[in-house]
Amino acid sequence: MKKTILLIHTGGTISMHVNEESGAVVPKETNPLIVESKKLRQYADIVELDAFNLPSPHMTPIEMLKLKNLILEAISKQKIDGIVITHGTDTLEETAYFLDLTTNLEIPIVLTGAMRSSNELGADGVYNLVEAMRVAVSEDAKNKGVLVVMNDEIHAAANVTKTSTSNVGTFQSPQYGPLGLITKTMIHFHHAPLQKQYVEVSTIEKKVALFKVYAGMEADLLLSAIDSGYHGVVLEGLGQGNVPPAVVTGIQALLDHQIPVVLVSRCFNGIAQGVYGYEGGGKMLEDMGVIYAPGISGQKARLKLLIGLNQVHSPIEVAHFF
């Protein structure tokens, strides 16, 4: 029996075209993907929803929350066997991770996008969409958390990141690799995520800032987070998880204001941990109460802390949560 897939559009290059006069890539009034439904119906019956038509830099956690609610509402009304979401690639990994943490479904949720708009030479949108559809109907894709499908690969939401500004093979999972490959005839999974965390959220009210640490950084930016009313701060630290000495006073001030500080590394391989005991070293930061977020990038640690601080059953124990 044919499966039923919920296909949700949110915008992005996959729904855009090149304006021939200006040469700019812009959104279209009618989503060019809607006309592709016929190609997709050979794989499944489709329930199609136009949630937003946004370039993905316009996505915020509020839209991500709406998307989560839309999914839960749709599956409560009818039998859905899988979900495919089209999305701009710039923040696709963030929406994927948000949904990964805030949904707990057996059915596959697959995000896809395109690096080339619908009327560009070598446009990859329809190709990626068909592949996402094939993954969404695959029995093997169940219970694997939220997936990202692009360029013949299947990635886990927690690990995937956009690595190239323009290359169609932009989505990669540094350190971990993809979960599977897609060929003409097969959906071939070779890994499965070991852990699945689920957090119930119904509102996003608290704010979390993300700062990249750099040589010569001072405490002023961290202090401004206190004045601007942030409830949490994530730092992309140096190497194994260190910061310049001047940053330490900023961290201490945040902690004194009960603002949790979460640390990841700005290196995209390896994990941050408390190793060095010098001023600003990771061991010193850990002893101060800084929390490490192993295995995720700065932007994902920021979303995780945001979700944790906004969860229905708060307050959370941040160290335990990470």
Point out the residues that are catalytic: 13, 89
Q: Which of residues 224-263 bind ligand ASP (CB under 6 A)?
A: none
Shortest Å, Cβ 98 to ligand ASP? 15
Q: Treating both helix axes as pointing N-terminal to C-terminal, what angle do 92-102 and 298-309 enclose, rounded to 10 degrees? A: 40
N- to C-terminal Cα separation, the chain: 42
Closest residue to ligand ASP using C-beta atoms:
88
Shortest Å, Cβ 124 to ligand ASP? 10
Shortest Å, Cβ 128 to ligand ASP? 10
Q: Which amino acid is at 132?
A: A
Which two tokens mark 190? 């070779």
Shortest Å, Cβ 88 to ligand ASP? 2
Which two tokens mark 229? 């009313």
Does position 89 interact with ligand ASP (CB under 6 A)? The reply is: yes
Q: 89 or 173: whose CB is closer to ligand ASP?
A: 89
Binding span for ligand ASP by CB under 6 A among 28-36, 60-68, 73-81, 85-93:
85-93
How far apart are alpha carbons 201 and 224 in whole angstroms? 27
Query: Which of 55, 108, 178, 298 contacts ligand ASP by CB under 6 A?
Result: 55
> Is position 265 annotated in a ligand binding site?
no
Strand partners, 109: 83, 146
Which two tokens mark 17? 């075209």
By C-alpha distance, which of 129, 173, 174, 142 is closest to 155? 173
Q: How far are the Cα atoms of 105, 281, 321 from residue 43, in angstroms, in the given order?
A: 21, 53, 39
Q: 96 or 233: whose CB is closer to ligand ASP?
A: 96
Asked if 245 and 253 touch (Cβ cutoff 8 Å), the reply is no
Binding positions for substrate: 56, 89-90
- Binding residues (CB under 6 A) for ligand ASP: these are 12-13, 55-56, 88-90, 113, 115
